[in-house]
Amino acid sequence: MSTAAIQRVHRLLVPPESGQGWTAYLWLVYLAFFGVEWFFRPVGALEAGLGVLTIAAFLGLYFSAFRRRGAAAFAHLAAIVALAIAWAPFNSGSSVLFIYAASFAHMVGRPRRTIWIVVGIAALAAATTPWAQPRLSYWLPGVFISLVIGAANIFFGEQQRKNAELRLTQAEVRRLARVAERERIARDLHDVLGHTLSLIAVKSELAEKLVERDPERAREELASLGATARRALADVREAIQDVRREGLVEALEQVRLSLRAADVELDLDADPADRLPTRTQAMLALVVREAVTNILRHADARRCTIRLTADDDRPGFLLDIRDDGDGRIRPDGAGVAGMRARIESLGGELELATGGLRAWIPETPS
């Protein structure tokens, strides 16, 4: 089977929004407890057949539960609990099914509700398995671990919900920022072009009237008309360039939020950021964004350091970005090439260093 086919099957079994990834298959190792007992006693054909059907039914419920929420999720975990109760008198390892059921409780709803579901599953395990399996070592671990796993998944599920809400909030902030920027562009273009176009209209009408009466004056008005049009074009270009250029301070605040959302601590020292020329800020904003994106994607870091300081040896500034992750920067990668091109467009230099990159930027861009 090709890698693409494996990925398609994986996405079908474990949806990306579940947040489980490939670890969903790792948790299935505990299902081995269901069959441990069969290695120590004879197993009849009927029991073996029912056991295979039970495992097949459980796997169907297990992978289906990752896509369920609310009442549907509750129905899935209730079915798993039913399998556990049905097997309790015949298989001491069936208590592991209570644990699996508790692990899906967080998908039913909010913590205040789901914690009682976990307690209910543990109570059922405590009421059923001691009667079916009197030995304490058979049933107590299932009860205890059900509570622990259920409570832990409720906590982590709530964290995932909060992270999702944070991502939605950030997306909404970005959308509102784009709306505000479009409104600003509209105002700027109105201010830039409104007066200028009115002036051009008046001058053109005047030149038209003066063509026969005062040709020399008409030529002056036409020359002035051309100069006004060129000035308006320059103003429009400047307005568009201002739209495209993001300030370095704003970019640093955005990467701070991105790193915080990924639970990466940021150590930031960039006092000269708001004193750099506009073009330098725009280029460095793109470089910082690209570098931090690489850290989030590949480094598996817990701490990121960004330093922007004045260079004591020559007029200019030093930008140093490092992380404590285990990723390695590919010198021939498209991201590095783009960062190098932006730094060199300012007349600066970029070099890769252990755990990050270092760039020198001149005080005045070339």
Q: Nearest CA to 150 among 120, 106, 94?
A: 106
pTM: 0.49
Residue 328 has pLDDT above 70, yes or no: no
Residue 214 has pLDDT above 60, yes or no: yes
Residue 66 has pLDDT above 80, yes or no: yes
pLDDT in tens, 156-169: 877 777 776 777 67
Q: What is the mean pLDDT of the chain?
A: 79
Domains of the chain: 3-165 (no CATH), 168-244 (1.20.5.1930), 248-362 (3.30.565.10)
Q: CA 283, 287, 292: angle at the middle one, nearest 5?
A: 150
pLDDT in tens, 256-274: 877 776 677 888 888 887 7
* pLDDT value of residue 220: 75
pLDDT in tens, 268-324: 888 887 788 888 888 888 888 888 877 877 667 888 889 998 888 888 899 999 888
Measured CA distances, 46 to 42, 50, 51, 52, 89 (Å): 12, 6, 8, 10, 15
CB 215 within 8 A of CB 266: no
